[in-house]
Structure 1
Amino acid sequence: MTIVVILVVTGALLIGALWGLWGRIPASAEGFLIALAGGALLIAAVLELINPSIEKVPIGWALLSIVAGALSFTALDYLVKEQWGAGQGVGLLIAITLDGIPENLALGVSLIGTAPMTVAALSCSIFLSNLPEAAGGAKEMREGGQSRRSILLLWTGAALLLSLAALAGHWLLAGVDQAVLAYIRCFAAGAVVASLAIEVFPKAFRKDDYWAGLAAAIGLAVALLLHSLGGG
């Protein structure tokens, strides 16, 4: 199950990149999908990462871990865009990678002794998030003049890196104290929330205007359904 989940989640980056390079994506459809994915990932971060963690560690330290994750992502994203001058497509690629590393570490951790449907709720939410984001990022990179080959190589590298993060979370952290795993989950959740606020929801609104609000609610409902099926 570990390998299958990792392949599904990181494979979304490659499928999305291929879609963005060779498929046709109306701006409104892209925005709707991005908002839907963002809604799903937002509630999944709370239900699958934060909620289980605050039962194992003091609430104050859990909240600090969430804030630390958000601060880390925000600082790195600022450096990428404002200081290093990465374009929109490249910035989105780096953003997915930056929040994807702790996110996939947490996914790997969640595979340790967790019910299959609970894992499915988190992995499906990450899949829904990665697919349209990769499609939009690859499309913007192509419009910026990069070759399809170089774009595919970049997204393939990101997928491999995130796969390694998930494997590391599952295999290297299997014997780690539950409190440490809880802090990793909270840190990942903070990075996810920051990426949604900075990258995902603003882009969804630009592409699809007010329909993005409905899409986010639908995504949230889907993630809630998956969580309930997992016995949450």
Structure 2
Amino acid sequence: MPGYLEAGAWGVVAGAALLVGALVGLYVKLPKRWISAVMAVGAGVLVSAVAFDLMDEAFQKGGFDAASIGLIVGAVVYFGADLLVSSRGAKHRKRSGEQQDGGANTGMALFLGSLLDGIPESLAIGVSLLSGEGVSWVFVAAVFLSNVPEGLSGAAGMKTSGRSTKYILGLWSGVILTSGLAAALGYLLLDGANPNITAGIQSFAAGAVLAMLASTMMPEAYEEGGAVVGLLTALGFLVAFTLGKLQS
């Protein structure tokens, strides 16, 4: 199989967890505390992926400058896009006279976060194959594990706000296809690229993920699940950390 097709396939595999989570959120009636528990574990997995897979590698490739700039840009881009989504949602509720419901905004914020971190993550998957050592299965597993709660909670929030099943599944399917395309493009376009560029891509994903975690995923999990989400987040972090050490 050509390298770019293999990269694209791995990108689709990592992103497919979003659809798995979305299907559970749409068709399985889980208590909100269970959903918050899954979100908490996923948040811990993402924190580990940010620290050890994205930022550490970005620093090794491009140093403090590339890693720092990418992180800040990723966080700012997510912040701006999330602010835009929230303001449009508020305007819609005001015009329609509906009572404020955070489900739609939370769902769209998680979708936005998945898109903004999924593209750089998939590019990173494509780049990792250029070394000839194969894809990092730990990184793919971390992305997969973290995507399940994002898809689940995002779809559940959109469903609560009245979005159709077709609309929700279409959004998440679009992210998956975009992830596969980004991984293939990463393999094709970033071969021999300046290390600062690949470092910036990885740290951009880290910044978007951190901004999403702090503003959406972790507050939502705590609101529904209470203090136990702290323990579950630590558990998710430990699982991803252990996977990383097993590979090394």
The TM-score normalised by the length of structure 1 is 0.89
User: Any conservation in 2 of the 1:73–1:99 contact (CA below 8 Å)?
Assistant: no
Which of 126, 129, 135 in structure 2 is aligned with 1:108?
A: 126
User: Any conservation in 2 of the 1:101–1:162 contact (CA below 8 Å)?
Assistant: yes
Equivalent pairs counted in the alignment come to 230
| 1:42 alignment partner in structure 2 | 47
Q: Between 126-135 and 146-155, report the one with greater CA deviation.
A: 146-155
Between structure 1 and structure 2, the one with the greater Rg is 2
Q: Where do 5+ consecutive residues of structure 1 fail to align?
A: none
Q: Distance in 1 between matches of 2:51 and 2:143?
A: 13
Which of 177, 181, 185 in structure 1 is aligned with 2:194?
A: 177
Q: Between 32-41 and 118-127, report the one with greater CA deviation.
A: 118-127
Cα drift, residue 224 of structure 1:
1.0
Q: Distance in 2 between matches of 1:197 and 1:47?
A: 18
| 2:3 alignment partner in structure 1 | none
Residues 178-197 of structure 1 show CA distances to partners (whole Å, capped at 9, x for unaligned) of 23211211222111111111
Cα drift, residue 225 of structure 1:
0.9
Which of 2, 10, 31 in structure 2 is aligned with 1:26?
A: 31
Which of 95, 104, 119 in structure 1 is aligned with 2:113?
A: 95
Cα drift, residue 115 of structure 1:
4.9
Secondary structure at 2:24 match in 1: helix
Cα drift, residue 3 of structure 1:
4.4
Q: Does 1:158 align with 2:175?
A: yes
Which of 58, 80, 87 in structure 1 is aligned with 2:85?
A: 80
Letter in 2 for 1:43: S
Q: Distance in 2 between matches of 1:207 and 1:69?
A: 27
Q: Does 1:229 align with 2:234?
A: no
Q: Where do 5+ consecutive residues of structure 2 fail to align?
A: 1-5, 91-103
Moved beyond 6 Å, runs of 4+: none
| 1:52 alignment partner in structure 2 | 57
RMSD over aligned Cα, in angstroms?
Answer: 2.0
Q: Between 206-215 and 91-100, report the one with greater CA deviation.
A: 91-100
Cα drift, residue 83 of structure 1:
4.1
Q: Distance in 2 between matches of 1:207 and 1:7?
A: 31
Letter in 1 for 2:16: G
Q: Does 1:68 align with 2:73?
A: yes
Letter in 2 for 1:38: A
The TM-score normalised by the length of structure 2 is 0.84
User: Any conservation in 1 of the 2:11–2:180 contact (CA below 8 Å)?
Assistant: yes
User: Any conservation in 2 of the 1:16–1:135 contact (CA below 8 Å)?
Assistant: yes
Q: Between 55-64 and 199-208, report the one with greater CA deviation.
A: 55-64
Q: Distance in 2 between matches of 1:155 and 1:134?
A: 7
